[in-house]
Structures are given as structure tokens and as C-alpha cells.
């Protein structure tokens, strides 16, 4: 079931606003109401309509910049390799780690209620502000109707004055678009920082403590029954984390157990599966009726399964689930040295970023382009640092030459709790630098992905318009890196906490136990991560918690060539789920698809060169890579700072950057009003552009009249930000 409407919410919201205000004036007739509605519809169509004619773009001559500012990595891939790369293994989980939430846990206080509980003196002030909003709504109805009518009709029937001008002249109307319903209290956005922290703080009530205490007792009793030892962590959000372990050892580290004792971690021949043994494949285990304590201690994977089943059967929990391991959504290259392909020496790296080009088939355009050039050049906006995008990923390469001095990067946090997965010698800390995430160094040509750096660079962490390297989607933006994935992936518990910290809902803690809040709460959170599982309940809760505060969560749809509803977080509710398109504007062969997908955006296809630029049609962004080449001389370069990649991971940040630009242009947009504005910037796709050979996608629905092609629904259309640019 799709989560976002394809109709422009801006139009709907403003029409509803105008209509509601008209109804408040008793002397208005039905005819006048309908006239105002039609005026509003026409004005909104002008505001959100297509962009102006495409404009040419250029960049700095490649030969004039140092090699480190132009060397790139990326080679053409065999299409069969791209397809084979999407054959996903069963999902993995952290052995001994379980997430649960008590069933009878009372609802956490809303931010407003939390603020009043801690500052009762603010109650009257907040209520007065809410009443003032209602009174203001009743007062301005005549004013807005008159201005709508005055701007309505020119001689040719067109709208003479854009509705945007009316809104700019009446700022109180803009505020009403995000105001609460009459009678509800809302936190003023201008509260002092100390009061905002109080408002974000979750208040744990006595009843919540009582429920968690009872649940903890059951968890510990169950572990004792199974002959296990461990601990239970309580959180202020109500979720509880069970860590099975013994003698105080890290409960997820079981590296030295023989193959026969953890059979699901090994192949039938007894060879270790790729990745650390503690990241178990989610085997179809079932707990025996009478589990043996010795076997449970010997087989921690089975012990994890038995704990999940026993706690779920108790009826005391709303959900009990394994601590799943998420992966980034790169489609990896083949395990062979890349083929060097020469590029015209006078082409700057910008000319290789087809994914930002205007959508079209003319010069400087791409059929798969996302229309950023039109949005920039028409003076709509190149962004604002008042807009915050949090990137929950592998962290950020703070030493990257295009990032090290970037004013677009704000302090983040390392949320990877397991020191081994963290790969940096410690657990959670303020350092969101990406030290690398190489999982199995024995795999030929394996390397650190620096995935979060590539994603953040596409959004705008890299310095744009600086005569070197690449451009980002938003030239001015605040990017907050939140490191949740490390060596071999990221745990669900860390991802849940990362989402909440990014949204400013929970604090992190420094080494002395002091609370550290995100001083730049996100407007948009990018999740270019994936798990081949239905959306875990705890993840959905974390997403709901931030979206209720007006945050837009953008997620990669996944690279498994399956229906996105089987994937997380792309199949979760309340996310903008993004499938990947190629340079032709067609859904990429690796991309997930389905009704859960909202938008198709450039994700690239390294097996094609449809634009004929001599390079594979990947997405070019910031990333430390090896086996590179100098596009001016054609000489090999051992390492470089820019790389072509492909995946729904690459598609999602295009959408996050587009949302950031839209919000920079119209700061009043939040939550669904912002994401719905984005839906007005989509180019329609044909059935053929959202279809693929049925042999590659068993179970997909054949296209009517063409039984060899199967439909792969890819959302409301292809991202085309030029459609949201103002006309000339």
C-alpha cells in the first residue's frame, strides 16, 4: 500500500485553507466559495508547475585542476554481474541481542506535555498562543479571500498574481498551514534552546517504570530457566534490549565456537560463511519443546531464537524481535580490476554527473536526469544551511579533500555500540568519522565502502561550485552524519537510536555519562540502508516518532529485485521510498519495486553507457576508492576521492537533496506538506519504463499485451526538480 499521495498536497492544503476560511465568514455564498477554490487551484498550478526552458551548464576544465580533484573510480560492469549482485542472502542478526517492548507500556507524553510537566509555568503561555492562532484564523478570512479575488483573473483568464506573492504578503497564513487544530497546544518554534531540550526530552512516568520492571523480571527469569546469563537494558522510549552473555563478555562476540555448534553460520561443507560469525544468518530455526540448557549455552543462535519465541508467547510484549543487521545499498563491482576507459580531456567531472542534469533528450540534458540544473539556474534556490539533513549511514570521511573544509557539515555522532563493528576501538562517541567497514579482508578486491560519504556528497556535504571534484544537490545545507553502520553492517538497536537522535528526540551520552543532544535536529533523515525482512516493529516505532515531529524520512527501496514490502526500511510506513532509475529514466535492473515505492530517482547502472560519455552510467560522488584513473591523461591512479556507484542508496540522497532545496525555498513546509510538495516534481513514467523481462522477476505481473515484460511499479514518477522551479 503506497504511503504518499501523488496529488500535490500544497494545492490540497491551500484549497482546504481557503475554503475553511471562507466558511468562517457567514456572509459568503456557495458561488463565491467555488470561485475562490478555482482561483486557488489555478494559482497553485502556476506556483508548482513545470520549469522554464533548459539552460546549458558547464564546469571547470579538467586539465586545470590537480589530479586529486579529477581522478575517478568506476568501470563498466557486465549486466549479468549486476543481476547476480542482487541475489541477497537471508537476513542476519546480532547473536544474543533481542529488542522487545512491553504491551501495557503507557504512551509517552507528547513533547508539549513533556515540556509542561517539567515547566508548568509555560502551560498558560502555550494555551494563549494556541487560542491566538484560532482567533487569527477567524480574523483573516475576509482579507485572504479579497486578495485571492483581486489576484484572480486577467483578461485572458490567467492568474495575474501568483498565490506565492499573496502568501509572502500574509505570513500568518503560511504559519496556519502548519498550525495545530483549534484547541491543541503546540510548541513555539522560537523557544529558547534550554526549553526546546526540555520539550524534546521523553518523560518516563512511574507507570512506565513499573511496566518495564515487570518485563525485565520476566526476561531475567527466562534466561535463568534456559541456563543463560545476561542483562536487560531499559530505555526512555520504552524499548528494552536483552543482551545474552556470560562473565561480562560482549554478548555478541562468539568468534571461536566450532562449526558444529553454530550450524547456521556455516555452509554444508563446513566452510565459514562470509562475514564475522557473530552476525548469524537468520536461519529457519525453531526452539525445541524442551530446550536443553547445555545445548542453549553451546548454541547461542538457538538460544537467541528460544528467547524470542518464549518472550513473544508470554503475551506480555507488544513485539519481540531479533537485533537485525542492516547493510548499505551499494551494488558492488565485480571482483576484478576495473577497465580503464578514456574520457574527453576537456570534460569536467560535472559533465559526468548526468543524474543532476535537466530531464530531457537535448544538449546538457538526460532522460534520466533529476532536473536540479533548472532549479538552480532559475534562481529558485541553491539551498540553505537552516535546513538539516541527517545521514544515518557508515559515517563521513572527514579527511576527504572536498569535505574537510565544508561549512555544510555539522557535528554528528557515532552510534555503533559494538567496538568490533565500530572498527575504531570503542563504542558510541562524538566522532562520526568513517574508519572503514571492510567486513572480510580475504575476499579478493574487497575494500572499504565509504558508503555514507558517497551518500552525503550527493546531498551536499561536499563543497559545490569550487572548481574541483563534483557537485552536490544542495550547495548550501547542513548535513549531520550519524554513524550507525560499521564493520559488516549495522545493528537494528543502533539504527533505532540513530533515527531518534537525528530527530532530536533522545540524547546520546558522552564518556562521563552526560547527555548530548543533537543541536541540529533533522528536517530530513536519509536511510540508504536495507534489510531483507518485513519492517521490524521497533524500526517502525522509531520512524513514527520522528515523522510525528514533522521530519521527512527518505529510504532506499532496496537492491534485491523484489517487492519493496519485503524490505526495510523501504517497505516501512511513513517513509519516502525511493527506487533507482538509470540514465534512460527506466527502473534499474537491481532495484526493488512495488506499491510501497513512492519515487524513482537516479541510482545508476554501471553496465550501461546510454549517454555516450565513455563512462558507465553510475552516480558520481565523493568516496575514497582504489584502482582509479586520471580522466585527462588516462594514466592509472592508485587512489582517488570520487567514484561512480550504483544502487537505491544513490537514488535516496537525490530525493533528500531535492527536499532540502524545496524547504530552503519555503521554510514553512514540514512533514507531509514538504514530501507532498516533492510529489509535484515528478515526471510521469510509461509502463515500459517501469517494466522488465519476466524471466528476471518471477511473480511479477505481466504487462497487458506483452507477456514477456512484467510490471515493476516504480512510484508516482521520476524525480524532476525542474518541475518545481518557478517559471520565467
Q: What are phi and psi of 218, to 5 degrees?
A: -65, -40
Residue 4, in any domain of the structure: no
Which has the higher per-residue pLDDT, 376 or 67? Answer: 376
Contact in structure between 430 and 510 (CB atoms under 8 Å):
yes
**CATH number for the domain including 581?**
3.40.50.200
Burial class (CB in 10 A: 0-12, 13-18, 19+), 2: middle
Q: Residue 658 — very low, low, confident or very high, per pLDDT cuts 50/70/90?
A: very high
Q: Taking Cα atoms as reference points, which of 390, 393, 334 lies closest to residue 528? A: 393
Residue 135, in any domain of the structure: yes
Q: Residue 262 — very low, low, confident or very high, per pLDDT cuts 50/70/90?
A: very low
Mean pLDDT of 172-201: 47
Q: Residues 6 or more apart from 109 whose CB is under 8 A from it?
A: 117, 202, 203, 205
Per-residue pLDDT, 164:
41
DSSP 716: S
Shared-domain flag, residues 403 and 448: yes
Contact in structure between 508 and 413 (CB atoms under 8 Å):
yes
Contact in structure between 343 and 612 (CB atoms under 8 Å):
no
Q: Residues 6 or more apart from 141 whose CB is under 8 A from it?
A: 21, 22, 24, 25
Per-residue pLDDT, 580:
95
Q: Residue 19: pLDDT above 80?
A: no
Per-residue pLDDT, 232:
87
Q: Taking Cα atoms as reference points, which of 103, 101, 95, 122 lies closest to residue 111? A: 122
Which has the higher per-residue pLDDT, 248 or 689? Answer: 689
Q: Residue 323 — very low, low, confident or very high, per pLDDT cuts 50/70/90?
A: confident
Q: At what angle do helices 141-150 and 123-139 cross, to 10 degrees?
A: 40
Q: Residues 6 or more apart from 352 whose CB is under 8 A from it?
A: 72, 343, 613, 615, 620, 644
Q: Residue 270: pLDDT above 60?
A: no
- In angstroms, rounded to a whole number, what is the distance separating the alpha carbons of residues 47 and 42? 9
How many domains are there within the chain? 3
Shared-domain flag, residues 317 and 355: no
Active site residue 250: no
Q: Residues 6 or more apart from 272 whose CB is under 8 A from it?
A: 259, 265, 266
Residue 194, in any domain of the structure: no
Q: Which of 234-238, 266-270, 617-621 has the highest mean pLDDT?
A: 617-621
pLDDT per residue as tens digits for the range 509-530 = 888 888 888 999 999 999 999 8
Mean pLDDT of 541-550: 91
- In angstroms, rounded to a whole number, what is the distance separating the alpha carbons of residues 21 and 25? 7
Shared-domain flag, residues 216 and 164: no
Q: What are phi and psi of 593, to 5 degrees?
A: -155, 180
Q: Is 524 left (phi over 0), alpha (psi -120 to 50) or beta?
A: beta
Looking up cell 502551560, which residue turns up? 123
Q: Residue 141: pLDDT above 70?
A: no
Residue 193, in any domain of the structure: no
Q: Residue 15 — very low, low, confident or very high, per pLDDT cuts 50/70/90?
A: very low
Per the prediction, the chain carries an average pLDDT of: 74
Q: Residue 650: pLDDT above 50?
A: yes
- In angstroms, rounded to a whole number, what is the distance separating the alpha carbons of residues 488 and 440? 8
- In angstroms, rounded to a whole number, what is the distance separating the alpha carbons of residues 215 and 4? 37
Query: 13 is in which domain, residue-wise?
Result: 9-48+120-182
Q: Residues 6 or more apart from 210 whose CB is under 8 A from it?
A: none
Contact in structure between 331 and 558 (CB atoms under 8 Å):
no
What percentage of residues in the chain have a pLDDT greater than 70? 65
User: Which SS3 state, helix, strand or coil, does residue 435 take?
Assistant: coil
Shared-domain flag, residues 68 and 26: no
| Set of cell numbers at residue 468 | 574541483
Per-residue pLDDT, 138:
40
pLDDT per residue as tens digits for the range 353-368 = 889 998 888 888 899 9
Contact in structure between 617 and 585 (CB atoms under 8 Å):
no
Segment holding 599, helix H or strand E: strand 599-602
> Of the listed 451, 577, 654, 720, which one is catalytic?
451
| Set of cell numbers at residue 513 | 555519562
User: Which SS3 state, helix, strand or coil, does residue 691 take?
Assistant: strand
Calculated CA dihedral for residues 198, 202, 205, 207, nearest 10 degrees? 170
Chain centroid offset of residue 496 CA: 13
> Of the listed 151, 417, 649, 675, which one is catalytic?
649
- In angstroms, rounded to a whole number, what is the distance separating the alpha carbons of residues 161 and 148? 9
Residue 319, in any domain of the structure: yes
- In angstroms, rounded to a whole number, what is the distance separating the alpha carbons of residues 204 and 240? 14
Residue 115, in any domain of the structure: no
- In angstroms, rounded to a whole number, what is the distance separating the alpha carbons of residues 211 and 102? 7
Q: Residue 586: pLDDT above 50?
A: yes
Residue 317 bridge partners (DSSP): 102
Identify the domain boundary among 325, 341, 358: 325
Q: Taking Cα atoms as reference points, which of 367, 394, 387 lies closest to residue 600? A: 367
Residue 529 bridge partners (DSSP): 328
Shared-domain flag, residues 320 and 454: no
Shared-domain flag, residues 359 and 298: no
Identify the domain boundary among 325, 345, 371: 325
Q: Residues 6 or more apart from 5 whose CB is under 8 A from it?
A: 676, 679
Which has the higher per-residue pLDDT, 692 or 442? Answer: 692
Strand bridging mode 383-393 / 524-527? parallel
Residue 37, in any domain of the structure: yes
Largest CA distance in the chain: 88
Calculated CA dihedral for residues 325, 331, 337, 339, nearest 10 degrees? -170
- In angstroms, rounded to a whole number, what is the distance separating the alpha carbons of residues 662 and 649? 21
Strand bridging mode 636-645 / 682-683? unpaired
Per-residue pLDDT, 408:
95
- In angstroms, rounded to a whole number, what is the distance separating the alpha carbons of residues 571 and 581? 18
Shared-domain flag, residues 515 and 385: yes
Shared-domain flag, residues 380 and 302: no
Identify the domain boundary among 150, 182, 214: 182
Active site residue 638: no
Report in angstroms the alpha-carbon separations of 301 from 95, 224, 241, 691, 695. 6, 17, 16, 40, 36
Q: Residue 679: pLDDT above 50?
A: yes
What percentage of residues in the chain have a pLDDT greater than 90? 29
- In angstroms, rounded to a whole number, what is the distance separating the alpha carbons of residues 591 and 587? 7
By residue count, the chain amounts to 728
Shared-domain flag, residues 263 and 341: no
pLDDT per residue as tens digits for the range 387-432 = 999 999 999 999 998 998 899 999 999 999 888 888 887 889 999 9
Active site residue 400: no
Shared-domain flag, residues 653 and 708: yes
Shared-domain flag, residues 400 and 422: yes
- In angstroms, rounded to a whole number, what is the distance separating the alpha carbons of residues 24 and 703? 50
Shared-domain flag, residues 215 and 343: no
Contact in structure between 301 and 308 (CB atoms under 8 Å):
no
- In angstroms, rounded to a whole number, what is the distance separating the alpha carbons of residues 594 and 714? 6
> Of the listed 347, 378, 393, 414, which one is catalytic?
393
| Set of cell numbers at residue 418 | 559494538
Q: Taking Cα atoms as reference points, which of 527, 617, 584 lies closest to residue 714? A: 584
Q: Which residues of 411-445 are buried (b: 16+ CB within 10 A; e: fewer)?
A: ebbbbbbbbbbbbbeebbbebbebbbbebeeeeee
Q: Residue 25: pLDDT above 90?
A: no
Residue 188, in any domain of the structure: no
Amino acid at each position: 500500500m503506497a504511503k504518499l499521495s501523488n496529488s500535490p498536497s500544497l494545492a490540497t492544503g491551500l484549497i482546504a485553507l481557503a475554503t475553511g476560511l471562507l466558511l468562517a465568514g457567514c456572509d459568503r455564498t456557495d458561488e463565491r466559495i467555488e470561485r475562490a477554490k478555482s482561483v486557488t487551484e489555478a494559482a497553485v498550478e502556476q506556483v508548482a508547475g513545470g520549469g522554464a526552458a533548459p539552460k546549458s551548464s558547464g564546469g571547470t576544465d579538467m586539465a586545470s585542476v590537480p589530479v586529486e580533484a579529477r581522478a575517478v573510480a568506476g568501470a563498466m560492469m557486465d549486466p549479468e554481474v549486476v543481476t547476480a549482485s542482487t541475489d541477497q542472502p537471508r537476513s542476519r542478526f546480532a547473536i544474543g541481542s533481542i529488542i522487545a517492548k512491553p504491551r501495557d507500556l503507557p504512551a509517552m507524553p507528547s513533547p508539549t506535555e513533556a515540556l509542561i510537566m517539567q515547566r508548568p509555568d509555560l502551560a498558560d503561555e502555550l494555551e494563549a498562543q494556541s487560542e491566538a492562532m484560532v482567533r487569527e484564523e477567524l480574523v483573516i478570512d475576509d482579507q485572504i479571500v479579497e486578495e485571492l479575488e483581486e489576484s484572480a483573473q486577467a483578461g485572458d483568464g490567467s492568474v495575474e498574481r501568483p498565490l506565492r506573492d499573496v502568501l509572502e504578503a500574509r505570513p500568518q497564513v503560511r504559519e496556519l498551514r502548519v498550525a495545530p487544530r483549534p484547541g491543541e497546544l503546540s510548541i513555539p518554534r522560537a523557544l529558547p534552546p534550554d526549553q526546546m531540550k526540555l520539550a524534546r526530552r521523553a518523560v518516563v512516568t512511574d507507570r512506565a517504570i513499573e511496566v518495564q520492571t515487570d518485563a525485565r523480571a520476566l526476561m531475567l527469569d527466562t534466561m535463568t530457566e534456559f541456563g543463560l546469563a545476561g542483562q536487560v537494558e531499559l530505555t526512555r522510549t520504552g524499548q528494552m534490549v536483552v543482551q545474552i552473555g556470560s562473565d561480562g563478555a560482549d554478548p555478541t562476540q562468539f568468534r571461536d565456537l566450532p562449526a558444529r555448534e553454530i550450524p547456521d553460520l556455516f555452509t554444508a561443507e563446513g566452510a565459514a560463511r562470509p562475514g564475522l560469525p557473530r552476525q548469524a544468518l537468520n536461519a529457519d530455526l525453531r526452539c525445541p519443546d524442551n530446550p536443553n540448557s547445555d545445548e542453549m549455552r553451546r548454541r547461542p543462535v538457538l538460544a537467541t531464537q528460544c528467547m524470542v519465541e518464549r518472550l513473544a508467547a508470554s503475551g506480555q510484549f507488544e513485539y519481540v524481535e531479533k537485533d537485525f543487521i542492516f547493510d548499505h545499498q551499494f551494488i558492488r563491482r565485480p571482483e576484478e580490476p576495473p577497465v580503464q576507459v578514456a574520457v574527453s580531456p576537456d570534460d569536467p567531472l560535472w559533465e559526468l554527473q548526468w543524474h543532476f542534469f535537466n530531464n530531457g533528450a537535448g544538449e546538457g540534458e538526460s532522460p534520466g536526469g533529476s532536473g536540479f540544473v533548472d532549479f538552480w539556474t532559475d534562481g529558485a534556490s541553491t539551498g540553505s544551511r537552516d535546513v538539516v539533513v541527517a545521514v544515518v549511514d557508515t559515517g563521513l570521511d572527514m579527511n576527504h579533500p572536498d569535505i574537510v573544509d565544508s561549512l555544510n557539515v555539522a557535528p554528528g555522532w557515532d552510534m555503533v555500540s559494538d567496538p568490533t563493528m565500530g572498527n575504531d576501538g570503542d563504542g558510541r562517541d562524538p566522532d562520526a568519522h568513517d574508519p572503514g567497514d571492510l567486513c572480510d579482508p580475504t575476499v579478493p578486491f574487497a575494500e572499504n565502502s565509504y558508503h555514507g560519504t558517497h551518500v552525503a556528497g550527493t546531498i551536499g556535504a561536499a563543497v559545490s561550485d569550487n572548481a574541483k571534484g563534483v557537485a552536490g544537490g544542495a550547495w548550501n545545507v547542513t548535513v549531520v552524519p550519524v554513524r550507525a553502520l560499521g564493520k559488516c553492517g549495522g545493528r537494528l538497536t543502533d539504527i533505532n537510536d540513530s533515527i531518534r537522535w537525528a530527530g532530536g528526540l533522545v540524547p546520546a551520552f558522552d564518556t562521563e555519562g552526560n547527555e548530548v543532544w543533537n543541536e541540529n535536529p533533522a528536517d530530513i533523515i536519509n536511510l540508504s540502508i536495507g534489510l531483507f525482512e518485513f519492517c521490524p516493529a521497533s524500526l517502525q516505532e522509531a520512524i513514527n516518532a520522528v515523522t510525528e515531529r514533522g521530519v521527512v524520512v527518505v529510504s532506499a527501496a532496496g537492491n534485491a529485485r523484489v517487492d519493496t514490502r519485503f524490505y526495510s526500511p523501504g517497505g516501512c510506513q511513513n517513509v519516502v521510498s525511493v527506487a533507482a532509475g538509470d540514465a534512460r529514466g527506466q527502473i534499474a535492473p537491481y532495484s526493488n519495486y512495488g506499491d510501497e515505492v513512492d519515487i524513482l530517482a537516479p541510482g545508476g547502472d554501471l553496465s550501461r553507457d546510454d549517454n555516450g560519455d565513455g563512462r558507465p552510467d553510475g552516480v558520481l560522488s565523493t568516496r575514497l576508492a582504489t584502482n582509479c584513473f586520471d580522466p585527462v591523461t588516462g594514466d592509472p591512479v592508485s587512489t582517488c576521492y570520487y567514484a561512480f556507484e550504483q544502487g537505491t542508496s544513490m537514488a535516496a540522497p537525490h530525493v533528500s537533496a531535492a527536499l532540502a532545496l524545496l524547504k530552503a525555498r519555503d521554510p514553512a513546509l514540514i512533514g507531509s506538506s514538504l514530501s507532498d510538495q516533492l510529489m509535484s516534481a515528478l515526471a510521469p513514467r510509461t509502463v515500459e519504463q517501469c517494466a522488465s523481462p519476466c524471466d528476471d522477476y518471477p511473480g511479477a505481473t505481466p504487462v497487458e499485451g506483452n507477456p514477456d515484460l512484467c510490471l515493476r511499479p516504480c512510484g508516482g514518477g521520476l524525480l524532476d526538480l525542474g518541475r518545481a522551479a518557478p517559471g520565467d
